[in-house]
Amino acid sequence: MSRADTAPTGAMPAPAGLLDRARIVARPGFNRWLVPPAAVAIHLCIGMAYGMSVYWLPLSRALGGAKSLACAPGTGLVGTLLARNCDWPVTDLLWTFTIAIVLLGASAAVWGGWLERAGPRKAGFVAALCWGGGYLIAAIGVFVHQLWLIWLGLGLIGGVGLGLGYISPVSTLIKWFPDRRGMATGMAIMGFGGGAMIGAPLANTMMTRFQGGNGLNVALTFAVTGVIYFVVMTIGAFGYRVPPEGWQPEGWMPPMESGRPMITTRHVHLHMAPRTPQFWLIWAVLCLNVSAGIGVLAMASPMLQEIFAGKLIGAPDIGFTALNASQRAAVAAIAAGFAGLLSLFNIAGRFFWASLSDRLGRKNTYTTFFILGMIVYVGASLAAQSGNKALFVACLCIALSMYGGGFATVPAYLADIFGTKFVGAIHGLILTAWSTAGVIGPLLVGHIRDFQISAGVPRADVYDRTLYILAALLFLGLIANALIRPLNKKWFMREEDLASHELAVHPATKPSAAGAFGIGRGGFTSGALLAWLAIGIPLAWGVWITLNNTLVMFR
């Protein structure tokens, strides 16, 4: 028997702690538009995971300076992790990102249920500790020149921060915006795509200004960045509020009453969701969509350089292997602008497609992703064969917008199918599809490229087959999405079970009538406007930097 069962009738509940979920239930007069900026603030910080590559080259020359100081021949992995007298290869540093992405999916899956019970503030604060603290541990690793500390800090501990920070706003925003689920999650997850636009140029600036040999400039950059991210994410975490149980926007009609059978008003328990075919179909839909997009992201720069080579600098007869050193540098700069442009469409697509899904429906939106995606991947291959640079760039920009849109739309898709009660935890389980796609996509594109080059295929033609294979992945995704149907009634929680769950998990949260106390009203008041400016100004700066770098490609 639990303590709750033996407590005297009428006993006062223990006061809620500063981070507890009961402490952040919205009070009368709260404006729901204050919650999305808090979510975006956290995602802008953890989104620097996409920008980690700016650290690898400086770290690979930390001891050697202009040229890397190689380890002794035969130095194994353990030796490299502990070595203090030689530089780390870029390939070993890249494992930091791989560990972080794997831990993102794993931690989201393992602790998603805890997040639902603990609330977004506690989860967001733990994410701030892990992500900011991971940077500080990595700074120590650079200072004492120990690679294992970088793997531990930015990879293992930072990866846990990524997972908790990524899913912490999902269920919160969906509950605040049941009338605009796609738009709400799109706003937050847009921040993850934009984090590198702010973090990467900021990191480059700090590494350039900080002085000191043996990687001290990188160590100081890690330390300052870690503090900044901890502060910003903590502010975001404390900005979270949750609506009272039973709240809904005033005047909003629940979807089942509007005749949309793909959107349920009931709830599936976290432990039951993976037993449904719909869960695994959505898992496949996300995995296949992400595999295609992340394969392009991983190879965007070399793809543009090898396909168009001299055409990028006004020398159409020069192939990639015939470029001299100065020409290669010019082509590489243009390819960097292309990668930045793809990132911008990745970000914009997260908000655009997720918002559009509120009108189209989630299933129709993913159908659009797969059909339009197949067209643009085939179109990109044809553009490459004809040498049409503008069409090639346009096709891949559209493809990457749908890659980002897939991430932002899937939380709302899950809420439609499984209900909102456990959507954050279910989303955490689904994110293992991202970890899987992060391996499939880059390996698929990279291995096909290498195989064709070894077979003597010209560099300009090695991606044709790859783009067709990516289109085939999208065709499989189209089939999986077509098979998704509303859940059978047997999977939903009974009303009495749902009430018992709420009483056990959130005893201090009392149900509220729809629209009661004016909660959620307000729109863009002065307070909401200031909150949005706080995250909008740095995001606009990142967009400006990206556009300036992108213009090089079209000069």
State whether 407 and 452 are in the same domain: yes
Assign residue 145 a region (left: φ > 0; alpha: ψ between -120 and 50; beta: otherwise): left
User: Helix, strand or coil for residue 312?
Assistant: helix
Specify the pLDDT at position 9.
Answer: 44
Note whether residue 520 is domain-resident: no
Q: Please tell me which of 243-247, 487-491, 497-501 the model is most confident about, judged by mean pLDDT.
A: 487-491
546 neighbors 340 (Cβ within 8 angstroms): yes
State whether 271 and 236 are in the same domain: no
Note whether residue 191 is domain-resident: yes
Q: Output b/e per residue, 11-21; b: 16+ Cβ within 10 A.
A: eeeeeeeebbb
- Is 510's pLDDT higher than 80? no
State whether 101 and 199 are in the same domain: yes
Q: At 68, is the pLDDT very low, low, confident or very high (cuts 50, 70, 90)?
A: confident
193 neighbors 141 (Cβ within 8 angstroms): no
Note whether residue 18 is domain-resident: no
Q: How many CB atoms lie within 10 A of CB 436?
A: 18
Specify the amino acid at residue 397. Answer: C
Q: How far apart are CA 195 and CA 341, in angstroms?
A: 14
Note whether residue 7 is domain-resident: no
State whether 301 and 361 are in the same domain: yes
Total tally of structural domains belonging to the chain: 2
Tens digit of each residue's pLDDT (9 = 90 or more) over 435-459 = 888 778 877 877 787 788 788 888 7
pTM for this prediction:
0.81
Range 46-55 average pLDDT: 86
Note whether residue 531 is domain-resident: no
Tens digit of each residue's pLDDT (9 = 90 or more) over 387-437 = 898 899 999 999 999 999 999 999 999 999 998 888 888 998 999 998 888
Specify the pLDDT at position 504.
Answer: 58
Widest Cα–Cα separation across the chain: 87
Specify the amino acid at residue 490. Answer: K
Q: How much of the chain exceeds pLDDT 90, in percent?
A: 35
Range 316-344 average pLDDT: 79
428 neighbors 167 (Cβ within 8 angstroms): yes
The DSSP annotation for 367-393 comes to HHHHHHHHHHHHHHHHHHHHT-HHHHH
Tens digit of each residue's pLDDT (9 = 90 or more) over 97-133 = 888 888 998 899 899 888 888 899 999 999 999 999 9
Range 204-211 average pLDDT: 86
Q: Please tell me which of 70-84, 140-154, 165-179, 324-338 the model is most confident about, judged by mean pLDDT.
A: 140-154
376 neighbors 409 (Cβ within 8 angstroms): no
Note whether residue 295 is domain-resident: yes
Q: Residue 63 sits in a domain of what CATH number?
A: 1.20.1250.20
Range 310-324 average pLDDT: 82
Q: Which residues contact 103 (CB under 8 A, 6 or more apart)?
A: 155, 156, 158, 159, 160, 162, 163
* Boundary residue ending a domain (492, 512, 540): 492
Note whether residue 544 is domain-resident: no
State whether 368 and 436 are in the same domain: yes
Lowest mean pLDDT segment, chosen from 8-17, 120-129, 187-196, 363-372: 8-17
- Is 515's pLDDT higher than 80? no
Q: Which residue has the higher pLDDT, 167 or 80?
A: 167
State whether 194 and 322 are in the same domain: no
Q: How much of the chain exceeds pLDDT 70, in percent?
A: 90
Q: At 513, is the pLDDT very low, low, confident or very high (cuts 50, 70, 90)?
A: very low
State whether 239 and 266 are in the same domain: no
Please write down the long-range contacts of 72-80, taking CB distance under 8 Å and 24 or more positions apart. Answer: 80/147
Q: Please tell me which of 251-260, 345-354, 443-452 the model is most confident about, judged by mean pLDDT.
A: 345-354
Specify the pLDDT at position 238.
Answer: 95
- Is 254's pLDDT higher than 90? no
Range 266-291 average pLDDT: 94
Range 480-491 average pLDDT: 93
242 neighbors 175 (Cβ within 8 angstroms): yes
Note whether residue 381 is domain-resident: yes
State whether 245 and 372 are in the same domain: no
414 neighbors 427 (Cβ within 8 angstroms): yes
State whether 104 and 217 are in the same domain: yes
State whether 126 and 184 are in the same domain: yes
* Boundary residue ending a domain (249, 284, 300): 249
Whole domain around residue 139: which residue ranges?
27-70+79-249
Residue 538 vs residues 40, 53, 182, 196, 519: alpha-carbon distances, Å: 11, 20, 24, 11, 29
Specify the pLDDT at position 7.
Answer: 42
Would you state the structure tokens that stand for residue 112, as one six-digit string? 């998603």
* Boundary residue ending a domain (462, 492, 522): 492
Specify the pLDDT at position 524.
Answer: 67
State whether 389 and 366 are in the same domain: yes
The single residue listed with the structure tokens 């690793």 is: 141
The mean pLDDT value of the chain amounts to 84
State whether 232 and 276 are in the same domain: no
